[in-house]
Amino acid sequence: RLQGAADAALNRAWDLYYTVFRRVNKQLPQLTTLELRYVSPALVTARDLELAVPGTYRVDGGAARIARFGASVHVITSKQRPRKLAMRGSDGREYGFLLKGHEDLRQDERAMQLFGLANALLARDRRTCEHGHLFVQRYAVTPLSHNCGVVGWVPACDTLHALVRDFREARKIVLNVEHRTMLQHAPDYDNLALAQKVEVFEAALADAAGQDLAKVLWLKSAHSEQWLERRTHYT
């Protein structure tokens, strides 16, 4: 009898929890801004920290220290829903960062170090130093643990996804037309072996024009010289 009563109480508790979970899960996609005073009061009150702003530390000890954090955090509406936060440095500048969870950023950090080495080699080689645009744009990557970290926000940039999305929406083209083509070739795509997935992908690729980005670069350039410069920088 006691076991039956305990099971019944557990089931009622689980029903309450699941009801709350469904409500929160339904409202979550609509949540685009978080007030820091509610999610992390300690960061709101933090002032003039000894910690350096990620990406500003130098070997000689020079660094901009964190003076304070921004009052709100913006939620990016992508799959992992990362957060964009701002920090005010001791140098008076405002630094933007992307807080990413459920990802190991240690490999990204190593990639940025590799890009730094590549830039140093390009700058020292006489065949490439004459072309000032030959460098890899870097940004700060600071792992905080094995599954989260902060990435420096690069301002005045568009993602490839945003460029292609705007181009296709203006022309009434379905955004995921390639994915739909893949499903037409193989409705059970997710259950296929890797070699079969590659075959389906290549078949869909052959049916796609693949000129979206090239046309975007042309349409967003004010004149031919700007188009050539952007094309050179991209390639």
Go through 171-196 and write b for each residue having 16 or more CB atoms within 10 A of its CB, e for each that does not: eeeeeeeeeebbeeebeebeeeeeee
CA dihedral for 39, 40, 43, 45, sign (positive or negative)? positive
Arithmetic mean of pLDDT over the chain: 87
Which band of pLDDT confidence, cut at 50, 70 and 90, is reported for residue 58? confident
pLDDT given for residue 231 in this prediction: 85
* CA-CA-CA-CA dihedral for 157, 81, 146, 70, to nearest 10: 70
Distance of CA 224 to CAs 98, 185, 221, Å?
Answer: 35, 40, 7
pLDDT given for residue 1 in this prediction: 64
- Between CA 12 and CA 17 the distance in angstroms is 9
Q: For residue 192, give every residue at least 6 positions away whose Cβ sits within 8 Å of its Cβ, in sequence order, or none.
A: 186, 200
**CB 47, CB 66: distance < 8 Å:** no
**CB 96, CB 153: distance < 8 Å:** yes
User: Taking the model in full, what pTM does it have?
Assistant: 0.66
pLDDT given for residue 2 in this prediction: 66
- Between CA 18 and CA 5 the distance in angstroms is 20
Mean of pLDDT values over 9-35: 85
pLDDT given for residue 93 in this prediction: 92
pLDDT digits 0-9 by tens, 148-172: 999 999 888 888 888 889 999 999 9
pLDDT digits 0-9 by tens, 171-215: 998 888 888 889 888 899 888 899 999 999 998 888 888 888 899
88 phi and psi, to 5 degrees?
Answer: -95, 125
Q: How far apart are the first and last CA of the chain?
A: 73
pLDDT given for residue 25 in this prediction: 80
Token pair belonging to 116 = 């730094």
Length of the chain: 235
pLDDT given for residue 59 in this prediction: 76
Among the ranges given (52-56, 76-80, 91-95, 106-110), the one the predictor scored with the smallest mean pLDDT: 76-80
pLDDT given for residue 132 in this prediction: 64
- Pick from 13, 91, 5: nearest CA to 48: 91
Which secondary structure element, helix H or strand E, spans residue 132, and what is its range?
none
pLDDT digits 0-9 by tens, 98-119: 999 888 999 999 999 999 999 8
pLDDT given for residue 208 in this prediction: 82
Which band of pLDDT confidence, cut at 50, 70 and 90, is reported for residue 131? low
